[in-house]
Amino acid sequence: MKLTDLLEKSSRHHSHLCPRQILGVRMGLLGMKMLGFDSPPDKKRLLVIVESDGCFADGIIAATDCTVGHRTLRVEDYGKTAATFVDTQTGRAIRVAPSLDIRQKAYAYAPDEPRHYFAQMQAYRIMPDEEMFTLAEVTLNTSIEAILSRPGVRVDCDVCGEEIINEREVIRGGLTLCRACAEGGYYHIADRDALLLDHIQHETVL
């Protein structure tokens, strides 16, 4: 698990390398180390909950091999470059976040680089973990069993009729509901019939 190899891996997938990717890789390595893993464990033993998406998350993925597709990576978007690493067998969870003054500290490790971006690029590769990050043992508000759920469980929403997987349904007043119908989703539905008609007319013209 050489840092240079992991940075190259992250850069290859992301098309470039930036300070937040380096932070993500370093954080991924430290999170695994704190749980006793020298490399990514198999059989979905490691669950990572990242608190933002983008470059930082790609660095975490490169270091841990956790992905959304394997259901070993979750995004709780708080807009923070922080992550919680969970051993799904023991239940132990460690939250890792950058030190509040990490950028100021970085300049001491790249004294000849006046440009902030490139100073961070250099420093984040070599700064000691204890100067870069803060650690906290945490307890998840949702159980690991509820987060992981059971594979193959499917139900239909009693309102919209769409299928719900991963035990994400909500029971309200005896009805089985998807979260969009129960709580209000991140979208609202436009006039579906008009949208479909417009699509058909567009395809006909083409």
Distance in angstroms (rounded) separating the CA atoms of residues 123 and 119: 6
C-alpha distances (whole Å) from 40 to each of 47, 48, 128 are 10, 11, 21
**The pLDDT of residue 203 is above 80:** no
User: By the 8 A CB rule, do 66 and 84 touch?
Assistant: no
H or E segment to which residue 74 belongs: strand 73-75
Q: Do 164 and 78 have their domain in common? A: no
Q: Do 171 and 199 have their domain in common? A: yes
Tell me the pLDDT tens digit for each residue of 64-123.
999 999 999 999 999 999 999 999 999 999 999 999 999 999 999 999 999 999 999 999
pTM for the predicted model, two decimal places? 0.88
Q: Do 68 and 143 have their domain in common? A: yes
Q: Do 37 and 107 have their domain in common? A: yes
User: By the 8 A CB rule, do 17 and 10 touch?
Assistant: yes
What integer pLDDT is reported at residue 188 of this predicted model?
80
Q: Do 93 and 123 have their domain in common? A: yes
Q: Do 120 and 199 have their domain in common? A: no
Q: Do 196 and 130 have their domain in common? A: no
Q: Do 53 and 120 have their domain in common? A: yes
Q: Do 171 and 186 have their domain in common? A: yes
Range of the domain at 191: 150-205
**Confidence at 206, pLDDT banded by 50, 70, 90:** low
Q: Do 133 and 177 have their domain in common? A: no
- Boundary-marking domain end, from 147, 162, 189: 147
- Boundary-marking domain end, from 127, 147, 167: 147
Of the chain, the percentage scoring pLDDT greater than 90 comes to 82
Q: Do 89 and 41 have their domain in common? A: yes
CATH of the domain at 142: 3.30.1330.130
- Boundary-marking domain end, from 147, 162, 194: 147
Q: Do 118 and 189 have their domain in common? A: no
If one counts the domains in the chain, the total is: 2
DSSP letter at 17 equals: -
